[in-house]
Structure 1
């Protein structure tokens, strides 16, 4: 494990979830998304000790365990470490049962819990909530950007080196080409967030899940491909709902038409996204529903 320089005082550590690192002049460190608990936080602490770096702050871009899971393990090494997240993210981070209940649509069960968490994590408490705008930490300014859509609490962090950490707004092209049915809780907010980043003044974007750091040009290309992926599925849903059908039948068709692989967790992630897409089209007044033969059927409205 080693620090990968992006620019200036901004670095990242490669992993299943790439972790941002900002080094202050006194060698104190701010982490962005520490990743899961287990071996990774332990190795990170060893690396910091060898480099005489003092971990002082952690920012979580959003409320998914693969981003915040290592927080409690890191904080146990030094109780003075401050952990930050948005207000919405704080709610789900401190109450992870709410996320599993939300995904399932009711009280969660052992099947989903087993897939969502492979480790027995200690609870994570957020010390300070952050919101869009300037964030001053230890005399240095960072910009917090609201990037809702993937989750309600998603934010991006822009360092003074013009390096953006955007959470799961974008995924690596190698992943997007295989799994383009994105996990979205609000399609409209997500599309707005893509527009926000496209207009943002930055030089580099560090993907949370990807092999490469993107420059602004490549980031804009990636934004276009993510936007195209969203519209691809919107069009599929519009076309399929020319014949009224229920959620489960529509989801089955979406999975088959796109050769999507899934397990128990991913099925419900796909279902969550599908509901979000339907809600978006309903807001546009493009679809309606009917109750028929003990079923709830959605259909595309004719113009």
Structure 2
């Protein structure tokens, strides 16, 4: 495990979730999305010790376990490290069972928890709330950007080297080509966040899940591909709902038509996304619902 330089003092550590590292002049560091708990943070801590790096701050772009799970292990070794997250993310980071309940739409259960949570028993507390705007630490300015959509609490962080860490706003092209039914909580907010990212003055963007970082040109191309994925599923839903059907039947059609594979967790992630898509179309006054024989049926409104 080693630091991969992006530009200036901005680095990242490759992994299932790429972890951002900004090195201050005194060798203290601001970390971004430390990833899952377990072996990865142990290896990162060894690397920090070898390089004489002291983690001082951790910025979490959102609350998902594959981004925040390692915070507790890092805090145990570096008790003075400050853990940052948005207000909406803080709730789920500190009480992860609420996210499981949110995904299921009812009390969390062991089937989902086994897939979602890998952290040890240590509780993660958020020390400071991130708000959009300037964040100054160690006399260095960073910018926090709201990137709502993937989750309501999603944020990005821009370093002074003009390197943008955007969490799960974008995923790597190799993943997008296989799994383009993105996990979203709010489609409208997500589309607005994609457009917002294009307007930001950055030179490079580090994806949380991707094999390489992108320059601005490639990032814009990726943004357009993500938008195309959204429009693809919106059109599929519009077309399928010309025949009234319930959520489960529609979800089955979406999974089969796009040859998506899923486990218990991914099924409910797909279901959450589908509800977000239907809610978006409902806000556009394009779909309606009816209840027949105890069955909730959605349908595309005729124009």
- TM-score, normalisation: structure 1: 0.99
The alpha-carbon deviation at position 139 of structure 1 amounts to 1.1
3-state DSSP of counterpart to 1:125: coil
The alpha-carbon deviation at position 138 of structure 1 amounts to 1.4
Structure 1 distance, partners of 2:241, 2:73, is 47
3-state DSSP of counterpart to 1:83: strand
- Is residue 92–residue 99 contact of structure 1 (8 Å, CA) maintained in 2? yes
Q: Which residue of 1 aligns with 2:302?
A: 302
The alpha-carbon deviation at position 121 of structure 1 amounts to 4.0
Q: Which residue of 2 aligns with 1:108?
A: 108
Q: Which residue of 2 aligns with 1:198?
A: 198
The alpha-carbon deviation at position 189 of structure 1 amounts to 0.4
Name the count of aligned residue pairs.
Answer: 303
The alpha-carbon deviation at position 119 of structure 1 amounts to 4.2
- Is residue 6–residue 12 contact of structure 1 (8 Å, CA) maintained in 2? yes
The alpha-carbon deviation at position 45 of structure 1 amounts to 1.0
- Is residue 241–residue 300 contact of structure 2 (8 Å, CA) maintained in 1? yes
Q: Which residue of 2 aligns with 1:60?
A: 60
The alpha-carbon deviation at position 211 of structure 1 amounts to 0.3
Q: After superposition, where does 1:239-258 map in structure 2 within 5 Å?
A: 239-258=239-258
- Is residue 165–residue 205 contact of structure 2 (8 Å, CA) maintained in 1? yes
3-state DSSP of counterpart to 1:248: helix
- Is residue 100–residue 113 contact of structure 1 (8 Å, CA) maintained in 2? yes
Q: After superposition, where does 1:34-45 map in structure 2 within 5 Å?
A: 34-45=34-45
- Is residue 29–residue 57 contact of structure 1 (8 Å, CA) maintained in 2? yes
Q: Which residue of 2 aligns with 1:123?
A: 123
Structure 1 distance, partners of 2:55, 2:199, is 32
Q: Which residue of 2 aligns with 1:182?
A: 182
- Is residue 69–residue 121 contact of structure 1 (8 Å, CA) maintained in 2? no
Q: Does 2:36 align with 1:13? A: no
3-state DSSP of counterpart to 1:144: strand
Q: Deviations over 1:98-141 (max 9, x none)?
A: 10000000001111111112343411000001110001111111
Structure 1 distance, partners of 2:163, 2:118, is 32
- Is residue 172–residue 211 contact of structure 1 (8 Å, CA) maintained in 2? yes
Q: Which residue of 2 aligns with 1:141?
A: 141
3-state DSSP of counterpart to 1:157: strand
- Is residue 242–residue 299 contact of structure 2 (8 Å, CA) maintained in 1? yes
Structure 2 distance, partners of 1:138, 1:120, is 31
Taking only aligned residues, the RMSD between alpha carbons, in angstroms, comes to 0.7
3-state DSSP of counterpart to 1:153: coil
Structure 2 distance, partners of 1:252, 1:55, is 45
Structure 2 distance, partners of 1:126, 1:157, is 17
Q: After superposition, where does 1:250-289 map in structure 2 within 5 Å?
A: 250-289=250-289
Structure 2 distance, partners of 1:10, 1:237, is 41
Q: Deviations over 1:64-89 (max 9, x none)?
A: 00000000100001211111000101
3-state DSSP of counterpart to 2:222: helix
Structure 2 residues without counterparts, runs of 5 or longer: none
3-state DSSP of counterpart to 1:76: helix
3-state DSSP of counterpart to 2:252: helix
Q: Deviations over 1:181-220 (max 9, x none)?
A: 0000000000000000011110000010000110000000
Structure 2 distance, partners of 1:121, 1:135, is 31
- Is residue 32–residue 60 contact of structure 2 (8 Å, CA) maintained in 1? yes
3-state DSSP of counterpart to 2:77: coil
Q: Which residue of 2 aligns with 1:3?
A: 3
